[in-house]
Amino acid sequence: MLRIGILTSGGDCQALNATMRGIVKTVLLGSDEPVEIYGFQDGYRGLIDSNFRMLGWSDFSGILTRGGTILGTSRVPFKTIDEVDEDGVSKVEKMIHTYHKLKLDCLCVLGGNGSTKTANRLSNEGLNVIALPKTIDNDTWGTELTFGFHSALEIATKFIDDIHTTASSHGRVFVIEIMGHKVGWIPLYAGVAGGADVILIPEIPYDMDNVCEVVEQRTKGGANFAIIAVAEGAISKEEAALPKKEYKALVESRTSPSVAYDIASEVAARTGREVRVGIPGHTQRGGQPCPYDRVFATQVGAEAGQAILAREYGFMVADIGRKIVRVPLAEVAGKLKFVDPECQLIAHARSVGISFGDMPIS
């Protein structure tokens, strides 16, 4: 008997179901012995509480195009897993207990950075674990791509595309807030794809003088609108110079809904232009996975399934050089993949006149 546990952890995204489908279909079709699939409800919380349901072939039929996750998800921060619950047992001890109680041969974890860190901890505790790289932010270390990213990118890009028409019709400046708290992969790609005039990401602190200069130069050049794509974690040069504690306190003291509103208010005050804020928000996580994500999810799921059949564990499935490979969990756990400010895409974006707010355009 081959017993496999599966959970989806952290923020939801597109192609979680498609990835699980890839794992399960590969194992069920390739195994010479009976297979039992245990799906843990709401991520690591299900593993902690031993809350699971048995899954079969029918559960994975027709879910390739379905968004979200059939198992539910939750966030269990890594820093809390050694905390003792009311019964005097830590979360990590409970996860290990559930694993052994069910006599699992392997646990598949579909998650991002925090989830992968916990997966590595469980691997170090002797559990057979395989991680699969999930996050719309594309910030998981050790892989060039995560499933969910391309789907979120399409949604964010369409939002910018649609804003163009109303911005030009009314002659307005739009500040569009794109998901990206610590890294700027989505706003960078969506901003380039959507023809934004300014892109502000966490990796490149901005100067409001430079942002406003772009708006003013477009006005002088006869363009009656401007599009500013802003990561939710965008940071000014002044803020970037602050010690971490002071910056955190500054963010917590913010009275506006988000950084996009602060930027919009300042652009309006400095330029005299009419400015609006647009936020696609959690729609970037929702809906059907795009075709690219469906293909990628199927590949990483199949790779994990093949590894299970071969009894190989302790790694994260990754995309490197457009090849699906296996990267040791210890090499990826606890690391973020940031946008390199000197990368080729940013250089090309600058070449076509996109500003990142860090330098004057003239």
- Residue 78 CA, distance from chain mean position: 17
The token duo for 225 is 């609108």
Torsion of CA 26, 27, 31, 34, to 10 degrees: -140
Residues 6+ apart with CB under 8 A from 270: 208, 212
Catalytic residue among 137, 139, 293, 319: 137
Q: What is the DSSP string of 2-29?
A: EEEEEEE-SS--TTHHHHHHHHHHHHHH
What does the block give as tokens for 54? 């048995």
Q: Does the CA dihedral 320-331-311-36 come out positive or negative? A: negative
Q: What are φ and ψ of residue 118, in 5° steps?
A: -65, -40
- Is residue 85 part of the annotated active site? The answer reads no
What sign does the dihedral 230-234-235-237 (CA atoms) show?
A: negative
Burial class (CB in 10 A: 0-12, 13-18, 19+), 306: middle
Nearest one of 120, 143, 180 to 315, comparing CA atoms: 120
Q: Which residue has the tokens 């974890």?
A: 109
Cα gap 95→5, rounded to integer Å:
12
d(CA 189, CA 171): 25
CA torsion through residues 219, 224, 227, 228, sign? positive
Residues labelled as active-site residues: 137
